[in-house]
């Protein structure tokens, strides 16, 4: 019969295996994010340039920003060491970088929205925007849920910040979809998606500011502060 003491190492080993499995899952999610968004971003920018559509070009830029967020997660996960203080500093820097990307995303979204409103013309894209936004929504929602679940399990603020970046892109996809659909049905309200995107840019900027601010706190722990 095994004693209680002899059983503890097995329990610890299982915990380590679970941690390694979650880390691998986080890495795979980031790799998928990079490849998917590179393709989505390239197609969106190409269509935007062809149709002279600021909305599609801006959406493509958003995709590239999400690529940057996923790359930061991979960088953070690749540098885990035995020293907790080193890991914490890496978590702090990665979270700060993703927070900065939120601010960049807000800037790109806000600029594209204001530019379209100043043009005063109807958006050039309709069907292209609908197709791209539907594809994005179908993939990104599942990706966001998976990232959030892994981030909570690993108690990683960096991964949760990346999940929030995916959520922001889901919201932008929804705005692109709604704007394209509304323009097909009611061309006279072409400005609605730009106004909605501008409001969303403000929310994204607030998220970015709060994320960056948290990393400068002396009590930053790197954890998400949530369980379950």
- In this prediction, residue 83 carries a pLDDT of 59
For every residue of 92-139, DSSP letters joined together read HHHHHHHHHHHHHHHHHHHHHHHHHHHHTS--S-SHHHHHHHHHHHHH
pLDDT range class, residue 16, cuts 50, 70, 90: confident
User: To the nearest whole number, what is the mean pLDDT of the chain?
Assistant: 80
pLDDT range class, residue 121, cuts 50, 70, 90: low
Q: How far apart are CA 211 and CA 108, in angstroms?
A: 18
What is the reported pTM? 0.78
Nearest CA among 124, 134, 113, 129 for reference residue 196:
113
**Residue range 50-103, pLDDT digits in tens:** 766 667 777 788 888 999 999 999 998 887 655 567 778 888 899 999 999 999
Question: What average pLDDT does range 34-42 have in this prediction?
Answer: 91
Domain spans, the chain: 16-214
Level-2 CATH architecture, domain 16-214? Up-down Bundle (1.20)
């Amino acid at each position: 019969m095994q004693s209680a003491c002899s059983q503890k190492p097995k329990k610890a080993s299982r915990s380590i295996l679970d941690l390694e499995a979650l880390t691998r899952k986080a890495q795979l999610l980031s790799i998928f994010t990079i490849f998917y968004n590179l393709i989505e971003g390239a197609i969106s920018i190409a269509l935007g340039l062809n149709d002279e559509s600021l909305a599609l070009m801006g959406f493509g830029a958003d995709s590239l920003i999400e690529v940057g967020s996923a790359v930061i997660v991979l960088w953070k996960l690749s540098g885990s060491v035995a020293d907790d203080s080193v890991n914490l500093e890496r978590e702090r820097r990665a979270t700060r970088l993703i927070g900065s990307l939120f601010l960049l995303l807000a800037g790109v979204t806000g600029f594209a929205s204001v530019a379209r409103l100043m043009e005063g013309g109807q958006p050039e894209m309709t069907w292209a925007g609908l197709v791209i936004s539907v594809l994005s929504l179908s993939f990104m929602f599942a990706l966001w849920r998976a990232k959030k679940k892994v981030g909570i399990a690993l108690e990683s603020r960096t991964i949760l910040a990346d999940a929030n970046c995916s959520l922001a892109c889901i919201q932008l996809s929804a705005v692109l979809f709604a704007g394209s659909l509304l323009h097909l049905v009611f061309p006279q309200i072409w400005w609605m998606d730009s106004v909605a995107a501008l409001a969303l840019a403000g929310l994204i900027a607030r998220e970015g500011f709060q994320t960056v601010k948290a990393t400068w706190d002396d009590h930053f722990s790197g954890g998400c502060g949530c369980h379950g």
